[in-house]
Chain A
């Protein structure tokens, strides 16, 4: 950048983890990193969050799994993933080599699953944090049930924290009446940070055939359509908890990311936008840098949580 001036973009996302910049990838939209190596310099990202990993491989839901909707998309992938063993053997070495912090997103059907995953990952080099998906709407067991019950959120958080020394990020479900309740439950359980939002449960119907457009009938809505909801929830959560908040939902460009930072997010994750423009993450880093240079800031921290209420 020829504007010259170095900006301090570092940000603290809990548990002592400091990122070189606030731009992370959202789980399930960036594969295991390598898929984007033709489009993005992975060294330039704050962190890579990988596709959700379970104890055993999962083959996911039958097709059709995705459908485009106005300003977004619905997905019912069904948490297809290679399982923790293949992840550690086949996927992690590449990311470890890159050196950008790796956040492993985990999912399970029971408290024991989460605890066991946390324990397995705790012994592995090259993992900077664990993000716990308690909110995926696609799987019939677990998923929503964990993310919507404050008692369960606390229990999952404790179970994972008990088995790992790594920072633990609890990824919250937006499919609740008051997200600050589950956010506080995560904090009470010992979470180092919360990330939000996961997808909003939605549905699409073909009225001519009178059939659902997804084989799973319902799916998770993502993309620009959900941004106002995500922003609102991030703002509310940032005021309700003391731990760092990571903002997710419909971020397409640097301006969107800056809105989340102003609302109180310490970092952001970019999801669906990776499909639209595979180089979005890197562009957002550049765009945030440029904005800070132009507005005379020295550091990212000068704008986080600076929303002015009239």
Chain B
């Protein structure tokens, strides 16, 4: 796997909601290699603070050399990025990590579940899935706190010709409640599904449990604190599941290298350590 450190120009900036930004970056070396689920480490300052780079999923990579990130402002680093303008240069490293494994079987039924900014990598994944197939069904669920956070992205997915099952915590768009409850209520359980999920940890935990009960395969994209993103600091660990511990003899997995996408059965879904 080859990664690149690039000075990358912002060719487009979109404010999708109050605190949600999408940046389009010129990064041909990254775009050509990127796999859905992979991420980039962005320098989020032009000074020394915040010191460490920030990880962001690749939201889209195009054949004309562009990559996108979709993010929410949650602190100093994301604020810095949100304050950049078209024409500014960002220092980025990517593509990094192990992405989603695409299904070998073109007739597999696929279910994608995204929560919050977890929709970011799912867009890239959906596009890639649509280019290769489809004979089976593709069902997409997106959850957010409120309509404003979901509206634009939902439309983007719909423009790909995908029906979006939406859920919001406040009921302002789609189903009123957790997206995981919507999945449980509406998915055709007569079929066999392959799940892909990215979002808040508790949401993915529910998805993982749901799939485990049905014996459906499930891939999840995890987040941890990261210092390097290139498997040098060994800081980005999650605990292996008992099964994975036995099969690999590894007590911990590294999100930046073994992940961020894992088989949900490989990781221990403890909440205590988060």
- Contact surface of A with B, Cβ cutoff 8 Å: 28-31, 35-36, 38-39, 51, 59-60, 62-68, 70-73, 75, 77, 80, 215, 223-224, 252, 272, 274-279
Q: Which residue of B lies closest to A37 (CB)?
A: B2
Task: Give the CA-CA distance A224 to B43 in the complex, in Å.
Answer: 16
Q: Do B233 and A77 have beta carbons less than 8 Å apart?
A: yes
Q: Decide yes or no: A68 and B51 within 8 Å by CB, A75-B233, A275-B227 being known contacts.
A: yes
Please encode chain B, from 140 to 159, with 1 for each CB lying within 8 Å of some chain A CB and 0 for all others.
00000000000000000000
- Distance in angstroms from B38 CB to nearest chain A CB is 14
The contact of A60 among B48, B234, B273, by CB within 8 Å, is B234
Task: Give the CA-CA distance A31 to B238 in the complex, in Å.
Answer: 19
Task: Give the CA-CA distance A230 to B106 in the complex, in Å.
Answer: 59
Q: Do A35 and B238 have beta carbons less than 8 Å apart?
A: no
Q: Which residue of B lies closest to A224 (CB)?
A: B48
Check: B49 CB closer than 8 A to any chain A CB: yes
Check: B23 CB closer than 8 A to any chain A CB: no
Query: When A and B form their complex, which 3 residue pairs have the shortest distance between CB atoms, in order from nearest?
Result: A66-B235, A59-B251, A275-B228
Q: Decide yes or no: A29 and B232 within 8 Å by CB, A64-B225, A278-B93 being known contacts.
A: yes
Q: Do B234 and A77 have beta carbons less than 8 Å apart?
A: yes
User: Which A residues lie within 8 Å of B238 (CB)?
Assistant: 63
- Contact surface of B with A, Cβ cutoff 8 Å: 2-5, 43, 48-53, 91, 93, 224-228, 230-239, 250-252, 273-274
User: Which A residues lie within 8 Å of B50 (CB)?
Assistant: 68
Q: Decide yes or no: A35 and B231 within 8 Å by CB, A59-B252, A80-B252, A215-B273 being known contacts.
A: yes
The contact of B4 among A29, A38, A51, by CB within 8 Å, is A38
Task: Give the CA-CA distance A175 to B108 in the complex, in Å.
Answer: 58
Q: Do A63 and B224 have beta carbons less than 8 Å apart?
A: yes
Q: Do A35 and B237 have beta carbons less than 8 Å apart?
A: no
Task: Give the CA-CA distance A63 to B237 in the complex, in Å.
Answer: 6
User: Which A residues lie within 8 Å of B52 (CB)?
Assistant: 68, 73, 275-276
Q: Do A276 and B230 have beta carbons less than 8 Å apart?
A: no
Q: Decide yes or no: A223 and B51 within 8 Å by CB, A59-B250, A62-B273, A278-B5 being known contacts.
A: yes
A31-B230, A38-B5 provided; 18 other pairs, C-beta below 8 A? A28-B233, A29-B232, A35-B230, A59-B250, A59-B251, A59-B252, A62-B239, A63-B239, A64-B273, A65-B225, A65-B237, A68-B52, A70-B49, A77-B234, A80-B237, A252-B48, A272-B227, A275-B228
Task: Give the CA-CA distance A223 to B48 in the complex, in Å.
Answer: 10
User: Which A residues lie within 8 Å of B2 (CB)?
Assistant: 38
Q: Decide yes or no: A31 and B235 within 8 Å by CB, A62-B273, A71-B51, A278-B5 being known contacts.
A: no
Task: Give the CA-CA distance A279 to B230 in the complex, in Å.
Answer: 12
Task: Give the CA-CA distance A65 to B53 in the complex, in Å.
Answer: 17
Task: Give the CA-CA distance A223 to B3 in the complex, in Å.
Answer: 24
User: Which B residues lie within 8 Å of A67 (CB)?
Assistant: 225
User: Which B residues lie within 8 Å of A68 (CB)?
Assistant: 50-52, 225, 227
Q: Which residue of A lies closest to B91 (CB)?
A: A277
Task: Give the CA-CA distance A36 to B91 in the complex, in Å.
Answer: 17
- Distance in angstroms from B32 CB to nearest chain A CB is 15
- Distance in angstroms from A183 CB to nearest chain B CB is 28
Q: Do A31 and B231 have beta carbons less than 8 Å apart?
A: yes
Q: Decide yes or no: A278 and B230 within 8 Å by CB, A59-B252, A71-B49 being known contacts.
A: yes
Q: Which residue of B lies closest to A58 (CB)?
A: B251
User: Which B residues lie within 8 Å of A80 (CB)?
Assistant: 234, 237, 252
User: Which B residues lie within 8 Å of A215 (CB)?
Assistant: 273
Q: Which residue of A lies closest to B227 (CB)?
A: A275
Task: Give the CA-CA distance A274 to B53 in the complex, in Å.
Answer: 11
User: Which A residues lie within 8 Å of B226 (CB)?
Assistant: 66
Q: Do A30 and B3 have beta carbons less than 8 Å apart?
A: no
Task: Give the CA-CA distance A178 to B3 in the complex, in Å.
Answer: 43
Q: Which residue of A lies closest to B229 (CB)?
A: A275
- Distance in angstroms from A272 CB to nearest chain B CB is 8
User: Which A residues lie within 8 Å of B5 (CB)?
Assistant: 38-39, 277-279
Q: Which residue of A lies closest to B4 (CB)?
A: A38
Q: Can you list 24 contacts pairing A with B, beta carbon distance less than 8 Å?
A: A35-B232, A39-B3, A39-B93, A59-B251, A62-B237, A63-B236, A63-B274, A64-B225, A65-B225, A68-B51, A71-B51, A73-B227, A80-B252, A215-B273, A223-B51, A224-B48, A275-B227, A275-B228, A275-B232, A276-B52, A276-B53, A277-B43, A278-B228, A278-B230
Task: Give the CA-CA distance A224 to B51 in the complex, in Å.
Answer: 9
Q: Decide yes or no: A64 and B51 within 8 Å by CB, A38-B2, A59-B252 being known contacts.
A: no
- Distance in angstroms from A240 CB to nearest chain B CB is 31
- Distance in angstroms from A63 CB to nearest chain B CB is 5
Task: Give the CA-CA distance A59 to B274 in the complex, in Å.
Answer: 19
User: Which B residues lie within 8 Å of A224 (CB)?
Assistant: 48, 51
User: Which B residues lie within 8 Å of A36 (CB)?
Assistant: 230, 232
Q: Which residue of A lies closest to B230 (CB)?
A: A35
